[in-house]
Structure 1
Amino acid sequence: MQIRALIYFDELVRARSIRAAADKLNIQPTALSRQIDQLEHYFGTPLIERSSRGVRLTSAGELLAARAGKTLRELDHVRQLIDDLEGLKRGHVNIFASGATVANLLAPALADFSLKYPKIRFSVTIASARAAIEAVANAEADIAVTLFSEPEPGTRVRLRAEIVYDVIAAAGHPAAGHAELTVPQLAAYPLAVPDRSFGARLAFDTLFKSAGVALDPVFVTSSLEMQKELVLRGAAVTMLPALTVLRECRAGQLVAIPIAGNKGIRTPIELCVASDRQLSFAAAKLLDAIDRFMREVMPRAAGAPTKQEGV
Structure 2
Amino acid sequence: MQIRALMYFDELVRTSSMRQAAENLSVAPTAVSRQIENLEEFFGTPLVERSARGVTLTAAGELLATRAGRTLRELEHVQQLIEDLKGLERGRVTIFANGAIVASLLTPALAEFGRSYPNIRFEVIITSARQAIEAVNSAQADIALTLFAPGTTEAKVVARSEIAYDVIASGRHPLAGLKEVTLRELARHTLALPEKSFGFRQSFDAAAGRQGLIIEPAFTVSALEMLKELVLSDMAVTLLPQLSVRREIEAGALTAVKLAAESAIRTHAELSIAPDRQLSFAAAKLSGFIEDFMRSQLKAR
Shorter chain as denominator, the TM-score bin is over 0.9
- Report the 3-state secondary structure (helix = DSSP H, G, I; strand = E; otherwise coil) of the residue aligned with 1:79: helix
Structure 2 CA distance for aligned equivalents of residues 98 and 277 of structure 1: 22
Distance 1:80 1:200 in 2: 37
Query: Is 2:275 aligned against 1:253?
Result: no
Match of 1:181 in 2: 181
For 1:179 and 1:280, locate their aligned partners in 2 and report how far apart those are by CA, in whole Å.
47
- 1:230-309 to structure 2, matched below 5 A, reads 230-299=230-299, 302-303=300-301
Where in structure 2 are the equivalents of 1:61-80 lying within 5 Å?
61-80=61-80
Partner of 1:163 in structure 2? Answer: 163
Deviation string, structure 1 residues 24-51 (Cα, Å, up to 9, x no partner): 2121121111111111111111111122
Q: Tell me, what secondary structure is at the counterpart of 1:150?
A: coil
Aligned to 2:229: 229
Q: How does 1:1-311 map to 2 (within 5 A)?
A: 1-151=1-151, 153-299=153-299, 302-303=300-301
Instruction: Return 62-71 or 253-262, whichever deviates more.
Output: 253-262
1:57-92 Cα distance to aligned partner (Å, 9 max, x none): 111110000111111111111111111111121111
Whether the 8 Å CA contact 2:22–2:32 is kept in 1: the answer is yes
Q: Deviations over 1:257-294 (max 9, x none)?
A: 12223432111211101101111111111111101111
- C-alpha displacement at 1:152, in angstroms? 5.4
What SS does structure 1 have at the residue aligned with 2:122? strand
- SS of residue matched to 2:298: helix
Aligned length: 301
SS of residue matched to 1:172:
coil
2-structure distance, mates of 1:158, 1:113: 18
- Give identity over the alignment, percent: 59
Alignment partners' CA distance in 1, 2:176 and 2:53: 58
Deviations 1:128-178 (A, max 9, x none): 100111111111111111111114554100011111111111122101122
CA contact (8 A) 1:95 1:141 kept: yes
Taking the aligned partners of 1:26 and 1:250, their CA distance within structure 2 comes to: 47
Distance 1:104 1:20 in 2: 36
Give the 3-state SS of the residue equivalent to 1:27 in structure 2. coil
SS at match of 2:21: helix
Change beyond 3 A, Cα 1:92–1:293: same
Larger mean CA deviation between 15-24 and 103-112 belongs to 15-24
* 8 Å contact kept, 1:137–1:152: no
TM-score by length of 2: 0.96
Tell me, which stretches of 5 or more residues in structure 2 are unaligned? none
Q: For residues 262 and 213 of structure 1, what CA distance do their matches in structure 2 show?
A: 13
SS of equivalent residue, structure 2 residue 214 = coil
User: 2:98 touches 2:132 (CA, 8 Å); kept in 1?
Assistant: yes
Q: Return the alpha-carbon distance in structure 1 between the equivalents of residues 21 and 294 of structure 2.
A: 41
Structure 1 CA distance, aligned partners of 2:213 and 2:177?
22
The two structures, once aligned, show a CA RMSD in angstroms of: 1.4
Secondary structure in 1 aligned to 2:100?
helix
Q: Is the 8 A contact 2:133 2:153 kept in 1?
A: no
**AA partner of residue 145 (structure 2):** V
